[in-house]
Structure 1
């Protein structure tokens, strides 16, 4: 993690995801971890952080659904 903003960005995405689905932050993290959303944010940070947080959450929803997630 070379970028000092990476962890705060990932935290903001997790919190926005939690808010969108009315989950606790812990539940959102566990869901994203299980369905590869955390890995996605880490791997594609360079691209994702240039978009809005809402766009990142939309991307997480699509990715997690592809990996078996069921949140609508």
Structure 2
């Protein structure tokens, strides 16, 4: 029987990476809103394609890591 904190290192790593990715998204959203409020959209808009591409690549990588962790955990028990 699995205990309360008996998760594998891969699952713990995946949760930590997902947490920091979501914090990164919140930070990007806050920075964009502040740029809009203070009238610096001319600085923020050129970075949007780069940030969108980065977020997409990170999200796909984290999705693959999550799938691997779920499969590994289900095979463990």
Sort the TM-score into its range (normalised by shorter chain): 0.3 to 0.5
TM-score under structure 2 length normalisation? 0.30
> 1 or 2, which has the higher helix percentage?
2
TM-score under structure 1 length normalisation? 0.32
Relative contact order, higher structure (CA 8 A, sep 6+): 2
